[in-house]
Structures are given as structure tokens and as C-alpha cells.
Structure 1
């Protein structure tokens, strides 16, 4: 999220542009640009609960923006993401074999990442481009994208619509942000643990292969 964009500024944008603010906010975020699209969506649901906007148009707008944004991110990743990732890897001195291992790991979990990644900080921004880099089949990506967008928009808009009437908006936005960060921490822990376990198993397998034991004299 761009921290210099305050909640008050986002509320003013939502007041002025209504559904368009929700649509473009989440579209740009899902295309890979780190702007607070989730917060704008929560504000849209909050305004629907207060009667300034309507629930179903906010819901449909959030889904549409998320789907279109992720599609843009997918094609950006498919056509230019891997060369960019390689250049970043060289800059940070990350070996290409490590990048390929990460790419392979994401490919194995791409469907879950696209569907559930919207509830995870940062992954919501980069799931689309990463799916393109991993060459996830587009029809499968499109289905997972639509399913994930519908689930995410339903939860976020409904949460802001109902809970926003009894809990202050800043508090609710803070809780959602904390949840997505916690989800990110758990996901990174699982990813690192899985990668470590696979590397360990490969080393044990190599040791057990015939001819790998040292010959004793």
C-alpha cells in the first residue's frame, strides 16, 4: 500500500467518484501497482451501508476491477515478467536456479494463489503477474481469477456494509490489514518450510543412491 495516501484522501476520492474509484482502485492494484485498492473497496462497502452508494453495484464493480486488473497483470507477467525477474535476480545476486525453483513452486500452487491470494498482503498485487510468469494456462487462470475475485469482493464489501455500521471505518481497515499481513507471514513460513523440506529430501535421496557412499579401505 502507498502509505502516503491517507484514509481521508481515499474517502474523498470515493465520495467524489463513487463506483469508478472502486473499479480503478482495485484494477490498478491487481495489475501490479501497489495502491490501496482493498481499502478503497472497503470504503465503497462502507458508503453502501450508509446509503451513499448501493451494495450490488459496489460488489459488481469490485469484482470487475479485480478481474480486469488481474488479467492485465497476467499478460504483463507472461510477456515481460521473467526477463525482469532475471534482471532483478542479478541485481540482488540471486542465482537463476533459485528463481527457477521459486517459479516451479508457484506453478504447483498457482490455482490456490490466484483464488486465495487476494486475502494475502502483497500476493494480491503480484498473483496475476506471477501466474503469467509461471505460464499458468490462461483458461484455468481466468476461471480461478473470477472465482477468487467473487469470493474476495463478497467478503470485503459485505464486511464493510454490515460491520462498518457498528465499528469505525479506520478500525475495520486496520483489522483487515493486520489479517492480510498475518496471512502473508504464515504463507511465507509455509513456503520456506516446504522449500527446505524438499531440499532436505533431495539431499537424503542423493546420499542413498548406489555409488554415492564412500569406499572404506
Structure 2
């Protein structure tokens, strides 16, 4: 969740705008806008558990918003994302060859990344654009995106709907955020460790 927006403010937004807050919050976040969409979804499920919103409508809004947002991100990436990444890469001193390598890595795991990306910090925002940049077939993307959105929304809304009655909302949101960051760290290690081993093996071969 963005540190600039407190949980109290997110609750107020959810109470004031209800289902639209859930739908547009996660939709814009998945499209690449840094908004607390996941937190709005959790708050929506919590309010459903309190009887202020309907569980099934919150679930529908979360699922639909997630699908829409990633579709927008996909077409942004498909129509011009990579040239933009190249320009940003130059500012960050990342070569175009390295960016091509990153795109290739995503392509090899695109389906899994799109399906599971919402449970991983940052990847929830960038999975759509990266899928477009890597030119993942739209039909395949839509299937992975829609099924992933349904699973993610079901978990988040159900978790806050049921567990929110037993655990304070602040602890619930913090726990989900910690899991998301932990998943990101595991993903980084899963990518970095094999590459480090690949780099070490040629050096050992040269020493021999």
C-alpha cells in the first residue's frame, strides 16, 4: 500500500464509494497506476463481512477490475512499452541488450507470471505491460489473466470477509503486504541464483 495513503483514508474511500472504489482501485493499480488497489479490495471484503457491502458484488468488482487493469497494461506494453523501457533503461544505465534479456526471461515464464503475478509485489503492476512487451499471444494472456484475477480476488475478498471478523483489519492488510513482498524476494532469488551459478561455471571451466 502506498505510504502516502493511510489505511483510515482507504477505509473512508471504500465506505464512501463502495463497489466502485474496489473496481477502479484494483483496475488502475493493475494498469500501472501506483494506487492501493489490493488494500481497497481487502477493505471491500472486510466491509462485506461487516454487512455494509455484498460479498458477491465485491468479488465481482475485484475480479472485473483486475481483468480490465491488466488488459490496459497489456496493450500499453504491446503498442509502445518496449521503446519506453529502452528510454528509461538508458537513464538507469541498463543496456538495450539487457532489456531484451529480461523480456526473454519473462517470455519463458509468461503464463505463470501473469497467473500468479497478483500475489507478488510490483509484479501485480508490471505483469500486464511485460506480457504486452514480450508479445505474449492475447488469447493466452486473457485466459491466464482472467483465471488469475478470479483466483486472486477470491482469496483476497474471502480472506478479509472471514478472517477480518477475527483479526484487526490493520494486521490483516499488513500480513498480506508482508506475504506479497516475501513472494517478490523469493522470485528474485529464484531468478538470481541460477544466473549466478551459470556465471560461476564458465569461470571454473576456464580455471581448469
* Bucket of the pairwise TM-score, normalised by the shorter protein: over 0.9
Is 1:55 the equivalent of 2:59? no
* Pairs within 5 Å for 1:131-150: 131-150=131-150
* Pairs within 5 Å for 1:66-215: 66-199=66-199, 203=202
In structure 2, the gaps of 5 or more residues are none
Query: How far apart are 1:138 and its partner, in Å?
Result: 0.4
Q: In the aligned structure 2, how far is the partner of 1:191 from the partner of 1:134?
A: 18
TM-score (norm 2): 0.95
Is 1:30 the equivalent of 2:30? yes
Name the structure 1 match of 2:10. 10
Single out whichever of 190-199 and 72-81 deviates more from structure 2.
190-199
User: Alpha carbon RMSD of aligned pairs, Å?
Assistant: 1.7
Query: How far apart are 1:91 and its partner, in Å?
Result: 0.9
Q: In the aligned structure 1, how far is the partner of 2:123 from the partner of 2:198?
A: 23
TM-score (norm 1): 0.91
Name the structure 2 match of 1:40. 40
Query: How far apart are 1:34 and its partner, in Å?
Result: 1.3
In structure 1, the gaps of 5 or more residues are 208-212
